[in-house]
Every structure is written in C-alpha cells, then in structure tokens.
Amino acid sequence: MNSFDVNDNSLIEMRGVTRVYGSGHASMQALRGIDLTVAKGDFVAIMGASGSGKSTCLHILGCLDTPTSGSYLFQGVVVGELSRNQRALLRRYYLGFVFQGYNLLNRTTALENVELPLIYRGITAAKRRKKARDTLASVGLGGWEKHTPAELSGGQQQRVAIARAIVTEPEVLLADEPTGNLDSERSLEIMDLLSGLNRERGLTIVLVTHELDMAAYAKRQIHFVDGLIVAHRTKGTES
C-alpha cells in the first residue's frame, strides 16, 4: 500500500505533549503537558480562547507541527519517530483537513478542487472525477461541479472543502474553526453535515472552535486554558 503502516490500537493518543516556541526570555509555552485520547468514531470539540493552545494541539495532530516533548501516537505508531516522508504519507492517506478560510483554488471548479487529493494518489482521471462528483453530491452540491469558488456562497465553499477532505476516505477529519467565516444559519448547516458524517459513516472528527453552540454537536468537549486541559465534558457530564 505505502511505507507508513499502522496497527489497530487507539486511533490518537497524546502523552505529556508540550510545545515551546522560541528560546530563553522570548520563549512561549503553547502546550504544557497534554494527555489526550481519541477513539475511532469519536467526535471531539477542542475549545478555548485565542492563545489557549487549541490550534497548536490540532496542528500537532495533523503533523503540521511537532511536540517539543512528550509523544503523539497515531494507531500506536509514535509519530515523532517517523521520517518526514512517512509523516507526509500519514497526512495524505489517513488525515483530512478543513480550515476556516476554505483554502480552495480560486481558478478551478468545485469538481477540480475535490479531485486534487486524488491526483496526488495517482488515481486515473475517470475514476477520480466520478469519486469527486459522488462526494460533492454527498455534501449537497450535486449540480454545482462546474462552479468556481467565486460563484459559490461561503457555506457552499466550505462544503467543497469538506468534500475535498473526505474524498480520500481519511481515518480522521481535522477541522479548524470551520464555521468561523459563516453566518449562524450556514454554520448550523455545516455542523449538521459534520455530525452526519460522524454518525452515518463513523468518521472520526476533531474540531477546534470557540463557539459553544458549535461544540455542542460533538460527543466530547475538551477545554484548553493557557496550554492546559482544564475541563472535559462528555454528553452532559463534566470532569
């Protein structure tokens, strides 16, 4: 398949993870020793104010950043022991990303945007177009394949971004403030879509948000303050 092999242990585990930026008097500790486990099929909302460490946590989970100390394990594999190429394979084959700013290619159609990850996998044009078309339909954008981002609303652009993230059938979807640029109605539509993907497909989702009503869609809410996890709520219970 590829040179990054995983086993069947817990999907995600962080053990005593810290992240320090800078050095000496200019250093800033973004994470101060995080322990976090995410099981397959979970839907976790990471919450906190700006600067609380929530986005740093997500970036480490997505292999976009590395811990200063501690361990991050993906299905039992210590990610810090992987080579740069192996981490790239982990991102390509196991992770999907959705961002606040959509990050679509402006001069390409919705279909072409969704096809892009499949091109990197070497899938033939006919197969990837069918897969991209089917995935767009699954997020409510059947018939919008030929539209560019400029011809789509913010909510539609985010649906394209979600389609692009799930077209490869990743193990985990990492969503960083996916409703941050949307109005209330479109935000609820996007959260309904994500909740449906978790419920109906069993897609594991880790969502970063500062909005309580968006976090309420998740099965678990984890609250960060100053680089520490200070509260954990699971379906009406808190610890």
pLDDT tens per residue, range 146-179: 999 999 999 999 999 999 999 999 999 999 999 9
**Dihedral (Cα; 92, 65, 176, 142), 10-degree rounding:** -10
Q: Please enumerate, as own/partner, the contacts of 125-128 that have beta carbons within 8 Å and a separation of 24 or more.
A: none
Which residue carries 């050095």 as its tokens? 23
Residue 183 lies in a domain: yes
Residue 4 lies in a domain: no
Per-residue tokens: 228: 């520490």
pTM of the entire predicted model: 0.92
Range of the domain at 202: 12-238
Residue 88 lies in a domain: yes
Q: Domains in the chain: how many in total?
A: 1
Is residue 16 within 8 A of residue 70, CB to CB? The reply is yes
Residue 2 lies in a domain: no
pLDDT band at 236 (very low <50, low <70, confident <90, very high): low
- Report the share of the chain in percent with pLDDT over 70: 94
What secondary structure does DSSP assign to 87-105, as a single string? HHHHHHHHEEEEETT----
Residue 1 lies in a domain: no
Count CB neighbours of 231 within 10 A: 13
Per-residue tokens: 170: 């990743």
Residue 34 lies in a domain: yes
Question: Where residue 119 sits, what CATH number does that domain have?
Answer: 3.40.50.300
**CA 138-200-174 angle, 5° bins:** 75
pLDDT, tens digit, for every residue of 6-60? 444 589 999 999 999 998 888 999 999 999 999 999 999 999 999 999 999 999 9
